[in-house]
Structure 1
Amino acid sequence: MNRYGSVIKVKPEKLEEYKRLHANVWQDVLKMIHECNIRNYSIYYKDGYLFSYFEYIGEDFKQDMAKMAADPTTQKWWEICGPCQEPLATRLEGEWWASMDEVFHID
């Protein structure tokens, strides 16, 4: 199992919309997240930033993320959520949410 953290800004005028969307995530989106071996997925908010955490239990992260990105329902979900977000200028090429380095963990 691998842990992943990522961060993105949320547009202040879109915060309530983003919260509303995530209070009722589409079932097919949730199903795809599960099919792509993501577990324990959470998104937190603080001072204009969204922080995402999840655990990956699969064998091929890149392949599973490509599967998710190719899913038409997930693409539509991202189209709706995307305008609420503002990617960090320091993100890596090809990223929307900026990956974070884990600096501490204890079980």
Structure 2
Amino acid sequence: MTSKQNGKQRVCFMLQVKPDRLEEYRLRHAAVWPDMIEALQRTGWHNYSLFLTPRGELIGYLETDNFQLAQKQMRDEPVNARWQSEMKDFFVETDGKDPDQLMSPLDEVFHID
């Protein structure tokens, strides 16, 4: 479930990074490919942040007009296929899915501006 504020959906999700891959995961995200960033922006991923706990819980937050559409448009981006292929092995229990297919929005229970 997502919530809407000023016509934008606010989306938060969690994934689990393998504990032995945390440092490499951090390094990869310190140098995200410019064409990946451009694709995210072009497909409606705004105010996008990832937070990583010491135990490997990855919390993502973004704002978009339509999360399902933004996900679909990213799946159509060739750079995303390359990125997801490289990131897949960082995550616990993917069942063969790319990490972006595992994003399941969390329920927002409180918000204040």
TM over 0.5: yes
Distance 1:77 1:88 in 2: 15
Pairing 1:52–2:60 present: yes
Pairing 1:82–2:62 present: no
Is the 8 Å Cα contact of residues 8 and 49 (structure 1) preserved in structure 2? yes
**Structure with the higher strand share, 1 or 2:** 1
- Closer, same or farther in 2 for the Cα pair 1:70/1:5, shift >3 Å? same
- Describe the SS at the equivalent of 1:51: strand
Structure 1 residue 13: deviation in Å?
Answer: 1.0
**C-alpha offsets along residues 48-107 of structure 1, whole Å, 9 cap, x if unaligned?**
200000111x3x432332111111111100111111012589xxxx94133211111111
Q: How many residues align?
A: 101
Report the aligned-residue RMSD. 2.0
The residue aligned with 1:15 is 22
Q: Unaligned stretches of 5+ in structure 1? A: none
Is the 8 Å Cα contact of residues 9 and 88 (structure 1) preserved in structure 2? no
Deviation above 2 Å: which 4+ runs of structure 1? Answer: 60-64
Residue identity over aligned pairs, in percent, reads 31
Q: 1:32 aligns with which of 24, 39, 44?
A: 39
Is the 8 Å Cα contact of residues 88 and 98 (structure 1) preserved in structure 2? no
Q: Which amino acid aligns with 2:102?
A: W
TM-score under structure 2 length normalisation: 0.80
